[in-house]
Amino acid sequence: MASSAENSPSPGPESSNEPTPQLNIPPDILRLRAEIFALEAPITVSVTEFNNAWKYLDNIYVRNQARYGQKKTTTYYWCRLWRTKAYEPSVSDEQRKRKRTVREPIGCPCRIRIVSDGYYMTITRGKEPHNHDISALDYKLTTAARELAAQAVAKGSRPSLVARELKNSGIGGQITSKDAWNAGNVWVSRKEGRPAWQKHYPKNSVMEAIVANEPGPPDVLHVETYPRPPPKSGEILIEVKAFGLSRSDILARQGHTADAKFPQIMGREAVGIVTAGEGTVTPGTRVIAMITDLLPEYPGSYAQYTRVPATHVRRVHPLCKLSWEHLAVFSEMIPTAWNALFRALRLHPDDRLLIRGGTTSIGLAAACIAKRHCSFIASTTRQESRKELLEGVGVHKILIDDGSVSQQIKSEGLEFTKVLDLIGAKTIADSLQCVRPYGIVCQAGAIGGDSTISDFNPMDAVPSTVSFTTYKSSAEDFINFPLDVLCHEVETGHLKLPNIRIYFSNQIVEAHRSMEENRAEGKVVVLW
Protein backbone atom coordinates (compact mmCIF):
# COMPACT_ATOMS: atom_id res chain seq x y z
CA MET A 1 0.00 0.00 0.00
CA ALA A 2 1.22 3.48 -0.71
CA SER A 3 2.80 5.59 1.97
CA SER A 4 1.50 8.76 0.45
CA ALA A 5 -1.57 9.62 -1.57
CA GLU A 6 0.28 11.98 -3.94
CA ASN A 7 3.23 9.79 -5.01
CA SER A 8 1.74 6.32 -5.06
CA PRO A 9 -2.02 5.99 -4.83
CA SER A 10 -3.52 3.18 -2.80
CA PRO A 11 -4.48 0.03 -4.70
CA GLY A 12 -7.88 0.03 -6.28
CA PRO A 13 -10.35 -2.77 -6.63
CA GLU A 14 -9.70 -5.69 -8.94
CA SER A 15 -11.60 -3.98 -11.76
CA SER A 16 -9.70 -0.80 -12.62
CA ASN A 17 -12.40 0.56 -14.97
CA GLU A 18 -14.06 2.57 -12.18
CA PRO A 19 -12.34 5.94 -11.65
CA THR A 20 -11.12 6.65 -8.14
CA PRO A 21 -13.42 9.19 -6.45
CA GLN A 22 -11.77 12.56 -5.83
CA LEU A 23 -12.64 13.86 -2.39
CA ASN A 24 -11.69 17.22 -0.91
CA ILE A 25 -9.29 16.00 1.79
CA PRO A 26 -7.53 18.64 3.90
CA PRO A 27 -3.69 18.61 3.57
CA ASP A 28 -3.14 17.89 7.27
CA ILE A 29 -5.37 14.83 6.98
CA LEU A 30 -3.34 13.59 3.98
CA ARG A 31 -0.14 14.08 5.99
CA LEU A 32 -1.52 12.18 8.96
CA ARG A 33 -2.76 9.37 6.74
CA ALA A 34 0.66 9.02 5.12
CA GLU A 35 2.30 8.86 8.55
CA ILE A 36 -0.11 6.18 9.72
CA PHE A 37 0.50 4.10 6.59
CA ALA A 38 4.26 4.38 6.89
CA LEU A 39 4.36 3.86 10.67
CA GLU A 40 8.11 4.43 10.72
CA ALA A 41 7.73 5.25 14.41
CA PRO A 42 4.86 5.14 16.90
CA ILE A 43 2.36 7.96 16.38
CA THR A 44 0.36 9.57 19.16
CA VAL A 45 -2.67 11.59 18.13
CA SER A 46 -5.80 12.77 19.82
CA VAL A 47 -8.97 10.76 19.39
CA THR A 48 -10.46 13.65 17.40
CA GLU A 49 -7.52 13.79 14.98
CA PHE A 50 -7.62 10.04 14.55
CA ASN A 51 -11.34 9.97 13.78
CA ASN A 52 -11.02 12.88 11.34
CA ALA A 53 -8.19 11.11 9.49
CA TRP A 54 -10.20 7.97 8.87
CA LYS A 55 -13.39 9.88 8.12
CA TYR A 56 -11.77 11.59 5.14
CA LEU A 57 -9.99 8.57 3.69
CA ASP A 58 -11.20 7.85 0.17
CA ASN A 59 -10.28 4.18 -0.02
CA ILE A 60 -10.24 2.59 3.44
CA TYR A 61 -11.73 2.62 6.85
CA VAL A 62 -10.69 0.95 10.06
CA ARG A 63 -12.71 -1.84 11.56
CA ASN A 64 -11.94 -3.00 15.07
CA GLN A 65 -10.73 -6.53 14.49
CA ALA A 66 -10.51 -7.43 18.17
CA ARG A 67 -10.77 -5.52 21.38
CA TYR A 68 -8.34 -7.75 23.18
CA GLY A 69 -7.82 -6.06 26.53
CA GLN A 70 -8.69 -3.25 28.90
CA LYS A 71 -6.91 -1.92 31.98
CA LYS A 72 -8.57 0.92 33.84
CA THR A 73 -9.24 3.51 31.12
CA THR A 74 -6.82 2.05 28.56
CA THR A 75 -8.22 -0.05 25.71
CA TYR A 76 -6.22 -2.11 23.23
CA TYR A 77 -7.30 -2.81 19.65
CA TRP A 78 -6.08 -4.70 16.65
CA CYS A 79 -7.21 -3.04 13.43
CA ARG A 80 -7.19 -3.86 9.74
CA LEU A 81 -7.84 -1.72 6.68
CA TRP A 82 -11.01 -2.06 4.59
CA ARG A 83 -12.39 -0.48 1.45
CA THR A 84 -15.13 2.09 1.84
CA LYS A 85 -18.29 2.38 -0.18
CA ALA A 86 -16.93 5.54 -1.81
CA TYR A 87 -14.07 3.55 -3.31
CA GLU A 88 -16.24 0.65 -4.47
CA PRO A 89 -19.37 2.32 -5.91
CA SER A 90 -20.21 -0.76 -8.00
CA VAL A 91 -20.36 -3.14 -5.02
CA SER A 92 -23.84 -3.72 -3.67
CA ASP A 93 -24.61 -3.31 0.02
CA GLU A 94 -25.43 -7.01 0.28
CA GLN A 95 -22.10 -8.03 -1.22
CA ARG A 96 -20.27 -5.52 0.97
CA LYS A 97 -21.91 -6.99 4.05
CA ARG A 98 -20.87 -10.48 2.97
CA LYS A 99 -17.29 -9.36 2.42
CA ARG A 100 -17.13 -7.93 5.91
CA THR A 101 -18.62 -11.11 7.34
CA VAL A 102 -15.96 -13.35 5.81
CA ARG A 103 -13.25 -10.79 6.58
CA GLU A 104 -11.61 -9.98 3.29
CA PRO A 105 -9.07 -7.29 4.20
CA ILE A 106 -7.32 -5.34 1.48
CA GLY A 107 -3.55 -5.20 1.33
CA CYS A 108 -2.00 -3.25 4.17
CA PRO A 109 1.58 -2.96 5.42
CA CYS A 110 0.88 -4.55 8.76
CA ARG A 111 -1.59 -5.06 11.52
CA ILE A 112 -2.11 -1.86 13.47
CA ARG A 113 -1.94 -1.85 17.27
CA ILE A 114 -3.86 0.98 18.88
CA VAL A 115 -3.68 1.87 22.57
CA SER A 116 -6.28 4.40 23.67
CA ASP A 117 -6.85 6.02 27.04
CA GLY A 118 -9.96 7.82 25.84
CA TYR A 119 -8.13 11.04 25.01
CA TYR A 120 -5.09 10.06 22.98
CA MET A 121 -4.35 7.10 20.73
CA THR A 122 -0.91 5.59 20.19
CA ILE A 123 -0.56 3.77 16.87
CA THR A 124 2.23 1.23 16.32
CA ARG A 125 3.01 -1.59 13.96
CA GLY A 126 1.86 -5.05 14.90
CA LYS A 127 4.50 -7.67 15.62
CA GLU A 128 3.43 -9.79 12.66
CA PRO A 129 2.92 -8.53 9.10
CA HIS A 130 -0.31 -9.30 7.33
CA ASN A 131 0.30 -12.62 5.59
CA HIS A 132 -1.29 -12.48 2.13
CA ASP A 133 -0.12 -16.04 1.43
CA ILE A 134 -2.01 -17.56 4.35
CA SER A 135 -3.94 -20.58 3.13
CA ALA A 136 -7.58 -19.94 2.37
CA LEU A 137 -8.51 -22.96 4.45
CA ASP A 138 -6.77 -21.76 7.62
CA TYR A 139 -8.22 -18.29 7.18
CA LYS A 140 -11.76 -19.59 6.73
CA LEU A 141 -11.47 -21.98 9.65
CA THR A 142 -10.28 -19.27 11.98
CA THR A 143 -12.98 -16.92 10.75
CA ALA A 144 -15.70 -19.51 11.22
CA ALA A 145 -14.42 -20.26 14.69
CA ARG A 146 -14.42 -16.63 15.76
CA GLU A 147 -17.95 -16.09 14.57
CA LEU A 148 -19.56 -18.99 16.37
CA ALA A 149 -17.90 -19.71 19.73
CA ALA A 150 -19.42 -16.69 21.34
CA GLN A 151 -22.51 -18.87 21.53
CA ALA A 152 -20.49 -21.53 23.33
CA VAL A 153 -19.14 -19.02 25.82
CA ALA A 154 -22.60 -17.53 26.29
CA LYS A 155 -23.83 -20.95 27.39
CA GLY A 156 -21.38 -20.99 30.26
CA SER A 157 -18.22 -22.56 28.87
CA ARG A 158 -14.85 -21.20 29.88
CA PRO A 159 -12.99 -19.51 26.99
CA SER A 160 -9.84 -21.55 27.65
CA LEU A 161 -11.87 -24.76 27.40
CA VAL A 162 -13.49 -23.62 24.17
CA ALA A 163 -10.10 -22.79 22.63
CA ARG A 164 -8.59 -26.09 23.72
CA GLU A 165 -11.45 -28.14 22.32
CA LEU A 166 -11.30 -26.25 19.04
CA LYS A 167 -7.60 -26.95 18.66
CA ASN A 168 -8.01 -30.60 19.60
CA SER A 169 -10.76 -31.00 17.00
CA GLY A 170 -8.40 -29.72 14.32
CA ILE A 171 -10.97 -27.25 13.04
CA GLY A 172 -10.22 -24.18 15.10
CA GLY A 173 -7.35 -22.60 13.20
CA GLN A 174 -5.26 -20.11 15.18
CA ILE A 175 -7.65 -19.84 18.13
CA THR A 176 -6.56 -18.69 21.59
CA SER A 177 -8.52 -18.42 24.81
CA LYS A 178 -8.77 -14.65 24.21
CA ASP A 179 -10.27 -15.31 20.81
CA ALA A 180 -12.77 -17.72 22.30
CA TRP A 181 -14.99 -14.89 23.51
CA ASN A 182 -15.64 -14.14 19.88
CA ALA A 183 -14.94 -17.49 18.27
CA GLY A 184 -16.09 -21.06 17.85
CA ASN A 185 -17.12 -23.74 15.47
CA VAL A 186 -19.07 -26.23 17.57
CA TRP A 187 -22.00 -25.94 19.92
CA VAL A 188 -21.54 -26.52 23.62
CA SER A 189 -24.20 -27.82 25.95
CA ARG A 190 -24.16 -28.70 29.63
CA LYS A 191 -24.42 -32.39 30.39
CA GLU A 192 -23.95 -33.63 33.94
CA GLY A 193 -22.17 -30.42 34.84
CA ARG A 194 -19.54 -30.73 32.12
CA PRO A 195 -19.46 -29.35 28.56
CA ALA A 196 -20.45 -31.86 25.89
CA TRP A 197 -19.68 -31.15 22.23
CA GLN A 198 -22.58 -31.77 19.91
CA LYS A 199 -22.18 -32.82 16.29
CA HIS A 200 -22.26 -29.41 14.65
CA TYR A 201 -19.67 -27.93 12.34
CA PRO A 202 -19.36 -24.53 10.67
CA LYS A 203 -20.01 -24.32 6.95
CA ASN A 204 -16.40 -23.72 5.96
CA SER A 205 -14.96 -26.60 7.98
CA VAL A 206 -17.04 -29.52 6.75
CA MET A 207 -17.12 -31.81 3.76
CA GLU A 208 -19.01 -34.81 2.48
CA ALA A 209 -17.36 -38.16 3.10
CA ILE A 210 -18.28 -41.78 2.45
CA VAL A 211 -18.15 -43.43 5.86
CA ALA A 212 -18.41 -47.05 6.96
CA ASN A 213 -19.61 -47.10 10.57
CA GLU A 214 -19.35 -50.87 10.88
CA PRO A 215 -18.03 -53.83 8.88
CA GLY A 216 -20.43 -55.44 6.47
CA PRO A 217 -21.79 -55.51 2.91
CA PRO A 218 -21.69 -52.52 0.52
CA ASP A 219 -24.84 -51.11 2.15
CA VAL A 220 -22.83 -50.02 5.23
CA LEU A 221 -21.34 -47.17 3.17
CA HIS A 222 -23.11 -43.83 3.60
CA VAL A 223 -22.39 -40.25 2.53
CA GLU A 224 -22.17 -38.12 5.69
CA THR A 225 -21.13 -34.64 6.76
CA TYR A 226 -17.67 -34.88 8.24
CA PRO A 227 -15.07 -32.40 9.57
CA ARG A 228 -12.58 -31.30 6.93
CA PRO A 229 -9.04 -32.44 7.88
CA PRO A 230 -6.61 -29.51 8.25
CA PRO A 231 -3.11 -30.15 6.86
CA LYS A 232 -0.25 -30.34 9.34
CA SER A 233 3.41 -29.52 8.84
CA GLY A 234 4.78 -31.25 5.75
CA GLU A 235 1.31 -32.14 4.47
CA ILE A 236 -1.02 -30.85 1.78
CA LEU A 237 -4.80 -30.72 1.57
CA ILE A 238 -6.32 -32.08 -1.63
CA GLU A 239 -9.79 -31.40 -2.97
CA VAL A 240 -10.55 -34.89 -4.27
CA LYS A 241 -12.02 -34.99 -7.76
CA ALA A 242 -11.88 -38.75 -8.30
CA PHE A 243 -10.66 -41.91 -6.61
CA GLY A 244 -10.22 -45.49 -7.70
CA LEU A 245 -11.48 -48.61 -5.95
CA SER A 246 -9.24 -51.53 -5.11
CA ARG A 247 -9.68 -55.00 -3.67
CA SER A 248 -8.15 -53.71 -0.44
CA ASP A 249 -11.16 -51.40 -0.05
CA ILE A 250 -13.50 -54.39 -0.08
CA LEU A 251 -11.43 -56.21 2.53
CA ALA A 252 -11.29 -53.07 4.69
CA ARG A 253 -15.06 -52.61 4.45
CA GLN A 254 -15.55 -56.20 5.52
CA GLY A 255 -13.17 -55.69 8.46
CA HIS A 256 -10.62 -58.22 7.18
CA THR A 257 -7.58 -55.90 7.09
CA ALA A 258 -5.21 -55.16 9.95
CA ASP A 259 -5.87 -51.41 9.69
CA ALA A 260 -9.69 -51.70 9.71
CA LYS A 261 -11.16 -49.36 12.33
CA PHE A 262 -14.74 -48.16 12.45
CA PRO A 263 -16.10 -45.67 11.74
CA GLN A 264 -13.63 -45.13 8.94
CA ILE A 265 -13.14 -43.26 5.68
CA MET A 266 -11.61 -45.76 3.28
CA GLY A 267 -9.75 -45.14 0.06
CA ARG A 268 -6.14 -45.60 -1.04
CA GLU A 269 -6.15 -43.63 -4.28
CA ALA A 270 -6.93 -39.97 -5.02
CA VAL A 271 -6.58 -37.34 -7.71
CA GLY A 272 -7.55 -33.73 -7.24
CA ILE A 273 -6.46 -30.14 -6.71
CA VAL A 274 -4.19 -28.84 -3.97
CA THR A 275 -5.99 -26.30 -1.77
CA ALA A 276 -3.51 -25.76 1.08
CA GLY A 277 -0.40 -27.06 2.77
CA GLU A 278 3.35 -27.33 2.38
CA GLY A 279 5.59 -28.91 -0.22
CA THR A 280 6.78 -28.27 -3.75
CA VAL A 281 3.25 -28.05 -5.15
CA THR A 282 1.24 -24.85 -4.91
CA PRO A 283 -2.52 -24.42 -4.40
CA GLY A 284 -4.40 -24.98 -7.63
CA THR A 285 -2.03 -27.68 -8.88
CA ARG A 286 -3.50 -30.97 -10.12
CA VAL A 287 -1.97 -33.88 -8.24
CA ILE A 288 -2.12 -37.65 -7.90
CA ALA A 289 -1.79 -39.12 -4.41
CA MET A 290 -1.00 -42.60 -3.15
CA ILE A 291 -2.48 -43.32 0.30
CA THR A 292 -1.92 -47.09 0.40
CA ASP A 293 0.71 -47.15 3.14
CA LEU A 294 -0.76 -44.26 5.17
CA LEU A 295 -3.90 -45.89 6.58
CA PRO A 296 -5.22 -45.77 9.25
CA GLU A 297 -3.07 -42.86 10.52
CA TYR A 298 -4.41 -40.69 7.69
CA PRO A 299 -7.99 -40.33 6.42
CA GLY A 300 -8.77 -42.17 3.21
CA SER A 301 -9.76 -40.72 -0.14
CA TYR A 302 -13.52 -41.44 0.07
CA ALA A 303 -14.09 -37.77 0.87
CA GLN A 304 -14.24 -34.36 -0.77
CA TYR A 305 -10.96 -33.43 0.94
CA THR A 306 -8.04 -35.48 2.20
CA ARG A 307 -4.65 -34.64 3.67
CA VAL A 308 -1.50 -36.51 2.72
CA PRO A 309 2.25 -36.02 3.23
CA ALA A 310 3.87 -34.08 0.42
CA THR A 311 6.12 -37.11 -0.16
CA HIS A 312 3.13 -39.15 -1.38
CA VAL A 313 2.00 -36.73 -4.09
CA ARG A 314 2.89 -36.40 -7.77
CA ARG A 315 2.21 -33.24 -9.73
CA VAL A 316 0.33 -33.63 -13.01
CA HIS A 317 2.13 -31.95 -15.89
CA PRO A 318 0.47 -28.59 -16.68
CA LEU A 319 0.08 -29.55 -20.36
CA CYS A 320 -1.59 -32.87 -19.60
CA LYS A 321 -5.20 -32.88 -20.82
CA LEU A 322 -6.35 -36.22 -19.38
CA SER A 323 -9.69 -36.21 -17.57
CA TRP A 324 -10.04 -36.96 -13.87
CA GLU A 325 -11.23 -40.52 -14.48
CA HIS A 326 -8.16 -41.22 -16.63
CA LEU A 327 -5.80 -39.62 -14.12
CA ALA A 328 -7.32 -41.77 -11.36
CA VAL A 329 -5.76 -44.93 -12.82
CA PHE A 330 -2.29 -43.44 -12.23
CA SER A 331 -2.75 -43.46 -8.47
CA GLU A 332 -2.24 -47.19 -7.93
CA MET A 333 -3.17 -49.36 -10.91
CA ILE A 334 -0.62 -48.08 -13.44
CA PRO A 335 2.26 -47.57 -10.94
CA THR A 336 1.77 -51.07 -9.50
CA ALA A 337 1.67 -52.70 -12.93
CA TRP A 338 4.66 -50.73 -14.24
CA ASN A 339 6.86 -51.30 -11.19
CA ALA A 340 5.98 -55.00 -10.98
CA LEU A 341 6.94 -55.46 -14.64
CA PHE A 342 10.12 -53.40 -14.77
CA ARG A 343 11.42 -53.32 -11.19
CA ALA A 344 10.47 -56.80 -9.98
CA LEU A 345 10.36 -58.86 -13.20
CA ARG A 346 12.93 -56.74 -15.10
CA LEU A 347 10.96 -57.18 -18.32
CA HIS A 348 12.87 -56.93 -21.62
CA PRO A 349 11.87 -57.30 -25.31
CA ASP A 350 12.74 -61.01 -25.60
CA ASP A 351 10.60 -62.06 -22.64
CA ARG A 352 7.51 -64.23 -22.80
CA LEU A 353 5.11 -63.09 -20.06
CA LEU A 354 2.29 -64.94 -18.29
CA ILE A 355 -0.20 -62.96 -16.18
CA ARG A 356 -2.15 -64.95 -13.58
CA GLY A 357 -5.35 -63.03 -12.76
CA GLY A 358 -5.38 -61.29 -16.10
CA THR A 359 -8.90 -59.82 -15.84
CA THR A 360 -8.13 -57.81 -12.70
CA SER A 361 -7.53 -54.10 -13.21
CA ILE A 362 -3.78 -54.48 -12.57
CA GLY A 363 -3.65 -57.56 -14.80
CA LEU A 364 -5.30 -55.65 -17.64
CA ALA A 365 -3.00 -52.67 -17.08
CA ALA A 366 0.06 -54.94 -17.07
CA ALA A 367 -1.01 -56.41 -20.42
CA CYS A 368 -1.53 -52.93 -21.90
CA ILE A 369 1.94 -51.83 -20.80
CA ALA A 370 3.82 -55.06 -21.54
CA LYS A 371 2.62 -55.58 -25.12
CA ARG A 372 5.09 -52.91 -26.29
CA HIS A 373 7.97 -54.25 -24.19
CA CYS A 374 7.98 -58.05 -24.63
CA SER A 375 7.55 -60.60 -27.40
CA PHE A 376 4.58 -62.64 -26.14
CA ILE A 377 1.83 -62.22 -23.53
CA ALA A 378 -0.54 -64.82 -22.12
CA SER A 379 -3.20 -64.23 -19.47
CA THR A 380 -5.41 -66.49 -17.40
CA THR A 381 -9.11 -66.21 -16.59
CA ARG A 382 -11.60 -68.53 -14.96
CA GLN A 383 -14.44 -67.58 -17.32
CA GLU A 384 -14.74 -68.22 -21.05
CA SER A 385 -16.80 -65.03 -21.37
CA ARG A 386 -13.75 -62.90 -20.45
CA LYS A 387 -11.70 -63.92 -23.49
CA GLU A 388 -12.90 -60.97 -25.55
CA LEU A 389 -11.90 -58.59 -22.75
CA LEU A 390 -8.34 -59.96 -22.73
CA GLU A 391 -8.05 -59.93 -26.50
CA GLY A 392 -9.02 -56.25 -26.44
CA VAL A 393 -5.91 -55.33 -24.42
CA GLY A 394 -3.52 -57.20 -26.72
CA VAL A 395 -3.13 -60.62 -25.06
CA HIS A 396 -1.80 -63.24 -27.51
CA LYS A 397 -2.83 -66.39 -25.65
CA ILE A 398 -5.67 -66.91 -23.17
CA LEU A 399 -5.63 -69.81 -20.70
CA ILE A 400 -8.64 -70.92 -18.67
CA ASP A 401 -7.38 -71.18 -15.09
CA ASP A 402 -8.52 -74.41 -13.47
CA GLY A 403 -5.85 -74.25 -10.76
CA SER A 404 -3.26 -76.19 -12.77
CA VAL A 405 -2.10 -73.84 -15.52
CA SER A 406 1.38 -75.38 -15.53
CA GLN A 407 -0.04 -78.62 -16.92
CA GLN A 408 -1.79 -76.74 -19.75
CA ILE A 409 1.45 -74.98 -20.59
CA LYS A 410 3.37 -78.24 -20.81
CA SER A 411 0.66 -79.97 -22.84
CA GLU A 412 0.53 -77.11 -25.36
CA GLY A 413 4.30 -76.73 -25.54
CA LEU A 414 4.28 -73.13 -24.27
CA GLU A 415 7.24 -71.52 -22.56
CA PHE A 416 7.47 -68.43 -20.36
CA THR A 417 10.39 -66.49 -18.92
CA LYS A 418 8.38 -64.26 -16.55
CA VAL A 419 5.16 -64.78 -14.56
CA LEU A 420 3.18 -62.00 -12.86
CA ASP A 421 0.92 -63.64 -10.27
CA LEU A 422 -1.94 -61.47 -8.95
CA ILE A 423 -3.96 -64.26 -7.34
CA GLY A 424 -1.61 -65.03 -4.46
CA ALA A 425 -1.08 -67.97 -2.16
CA LYS A 426 -3.48 -70.30 -3.99
CA THR A 427 -1.52 -70.27 -7.23
CA ILE A 428 2.11 -69.49 -6.32
CA ALA A 429 3.22 -73.12 -6.24
CA ASP A 430 1.69 -73.71 -9.68
CA SER A 431 3.06 -70.43 -11.07
CA LEU A 432 6.59 -71.46 -10.09
CA GLN A 433 6.22 -74.45 -12.41
CA CYS A 434 5.20 -72.23 -15.34
CA VAL A 435 8.60 -70.66 -16.06
CA ARG A 436 11.63 -72.14 -17.69
CA PRO A 437 15.02 -72.22 -15.90
CA TYR A 438 16.37 -68.79 -14.94
CA GLY A 439 12.87 -67.35 -15.15
CA ILE A 440 11.28 -65.02 -12.57
CA VAL A 441 7.93 -65.30 -10.78
CA CYS A 442 6.55 -62.19 -9.04
CA GLN A 443 3.55 -62.08 -6.73
CA ALA A 444 1.99 -58.60 -6.80
CA GLY A 445 -1.51 -59.28 -5.50
CA ALA A 446 -3.71 -61.58 -3.45
CA ILE A 447 -7.16 -61.48 -5.02
CA GLY A 448 -7.56 -65.15 -4.15
CA GLY A 449 -8.05 -64.13 -0.54
CA ASP A 450 -5.33 -66.20 1.13
CA SER A 451 -2.24 -64.22 2.13
CA THR A 452 -0.15 -67.11 3.49
CA ILE A 453 0.88 -70.51 2.13
CA SER A 454 0.54 -73.43 4.51
CA ASP A 455 3.20 -76.16 4.47
CA PHE A 456 5.34 -74.21 2.01
CA ASN A 457 8.79 -75.75 1.51
CA PRO A 458 10.94 -73.51 -0.72
CA MET A 459 13.33 -76.33 -1.58
CA ASP A 460 10.46 -78.34 -3.04
CA ALA A 461 8.24 -75.53 -4.36
CA VAL A 462 10.84 -73.36 -6.12
CA PRO A 463 12.55 -75.10 -9.05
CA SER A 464 16.31 -74.82 -9.34
CA THR A 465 17.53 -71.57 -10.97
CA VAL A 466 14.00 -70.08 -10.87
CA SER A 467 13.69 -66.79 -8.94
CA PHE A 468 10.70 -65.87 -6.81
CA THR A 469 10.04 -62.27 -5.73
CA THR A 470 7.18 -60.02 -4.68
CA TYR A 471 6.14 -56.47 -5.34
CA LYS A 472 4.27 -54.16 -2.97
CA SER A 473 3.52 -50.51 -3.74
CA SER A 474 5.62 -47.93 -1.90
CA ALA A 475 5.84 -44.15 -1.83
CA GLU A 476 9.40 -44.26 -3.16
CA ASP A 477 8.40 -46.27 -6.22
CA PHE A 478 5.34 -44.07 -6.74
CA ILE A 479 7.47 -40.92 -6.76
CA ASN A 480 10.00 -42.38 -9.21
CA PHE A 481 7.85 -44.11 -11.83
CA PRO A 482 7.60 -42.19 -15.17
CA LEU A 483 4.23 -40.52 -14.68
CA ASP A 484 4.61 -37.78 -17.28
CA VAL A 485 5.85 -40.21 -19.94
CA LEU A 486 2.97 -42.63 -19.40
CA CYS A 487 0.38 -39.81 -19.35
CA HIS A 488 1.76 -38.55 -22.66
CA GLU A 489 1.59 -42.06 -24.14
CA VAL A 490 -2.06 -42.32 -23.11
CA GLU A 491 -2.82 -38.92 -24.64
CA THR A 492 -1.13 -39.80 -27.92
CA GLY A 493 -2.75 -43.25 -28.09
CA HIS A 494 0.49 -45.23 -27.77
CA LEU A 495 -0.69 -46.69 -24.45
CA LYS A 496 -4.23 -47.99 -24.29
CA LEU A 497 -5.86 -48.07 -20.86
CA PRO A 498 -8.22 -50.82 -19.67
CA ASN A 499 -11.93 -50.13 -19.46
CA ILE A 500 -12.87 -47.51 -16.86
CA ARG A 501 -16.25 -47.93 -15.19
CA ILE A 502 -17.37 -44.58 -13.76
CA TYR A 503 -19.62 -44.04 -10.75
CA PHE A 504 -20.52 -40.97 -8.70
CA SER A 505 -20.19 -40.61 -4.95
CA ASN A 506 -23.89 -41.30 -4.37
CA GLN A 507 -23.44 -44.59 -6.25
CA ILE A 508 -20.67 -45.90 -4.00
CA VAL A 509 -22.75 -48.90 -2.86
CA GLU A 510 -23.27 -50.05 -6.45
CA ALA A 511 -19.58 -49.42 -7.22
CA HIS A 512 -18.50 -51.70 -4.36
CA ARG A 513 -21.07 -54.31 -5.30
CA SER A 514 -19.91 -54.30 -8.92
CA MET A 515 -16.29 -54.92 -7.91
CA GLU A 516 -17.19 -57.50 -5.27
CA GLU A 517 -19.24 -59.48 -7.82
CA ASN A 518 -16.47 -59.21 -10.46
CA ARG A 519 -18.71 -57.29 -12.87
CA ALA A 520 -16.41 -54.31 -13.37
CA GLU A 521 -14.23 -55.74 -16.19
CA GLY A 522 -11.74 -52.92 -15.70
CA LYS A 523 -10.95 -50.10 -13.31
CA VAL A 524 -13.72 -48.71 -11.08
CA VAL A 525 -13.46 -44.92 -10.60
CA VAL A 526 -15.72 -42.73 -8.46
CA LEU A 527 -16.16 -39.02 -9.23
CA TRP A 528 -17.17 -36.32 -6.73
Percentage of the chain beyond pLDDT 70 is 61
Do 447 and 402 fall into the same domain? yes
- Predicted pLDDT at 455: 78
Q: Are 447 and 247 in contact (CB under 8 A)?
A: yes
491 vs 94, higher pLDDT: 491
We report the CATH number of the domain holding residue 355 as 3.40.50.720
Please give the share of the chain, as a percent, with pLDDT higher than 90: 45
State the pLDDT at residue 505: 93
Please give the angle made by the CA atoms of 234, 237 and 242, to the nearest 5 degrees: 135
pLDDT at 44 (0 to 100): 75
C-alpha neighbours within 13 Å on the C-beta side of residue 415: 8
Name which of 320, 336, 360 is nearest 499 in CA terms: 360
Closest CA to 308 of 215, 214, 420, 232: 232
Rg (CA), the chain: 31
d(CA 463, CA 440): 11
- Own/partner long-range contacts of 254-261 (Cβ < 8 Å, ≥24 apart): 254/215, 254/216, 255/215, 259/295, 259/296, 260/215, 260/296, 261/296
Among 3-7, 54-58, 116-120, 411-415, the range scoring the smallest mean pLDDT is 3-7
Question: Residue 110 falls within a domain, yes or no?
Answer: yes
- Say if residues 327 and 288 touch (Cβ distance below 8 Å): yes
**Domain membership flag for residue 140:** yes
73 is in which domain, residue-wise?
27-125
Are 360 and 467 members of one domain?
yes
pTM score above 0.85: no
Q: What is the pLDDT of residue 290?
A: 92
**pLDDT bracket for residue 321 (50, 70, 90):** very high
Task: Tell me, yes or no, whether 45 lies in a domain.
Answer: yes
Q: Sorting pLDDT into bands at 50, 70 and 90, what band is 256?
A: confident
Q: Residue 275 belongs to a domain with what CATH number?
A: 3.90.180.10
Does the structure show a pLDDT above 60 at 431? Answer: yes
Out of 35-44, 162-171, 236-245, 284-293, least confident range: 162-171
Question: Which range among 80-84, 213-217, 325-329 shows the weakest confidence by mean pLDDT?
Answer: 80-84
How many domains is the chain partitioned into structurally? 4
> What pLDDT, on a 0 to 100 scale, did the predictor assign at position 125?
59
Which of these three, 92, 125, 158, is where a domain ends?
A: 125
Q: What pLDDT is stored for residue 346 in this prediction? A: 96
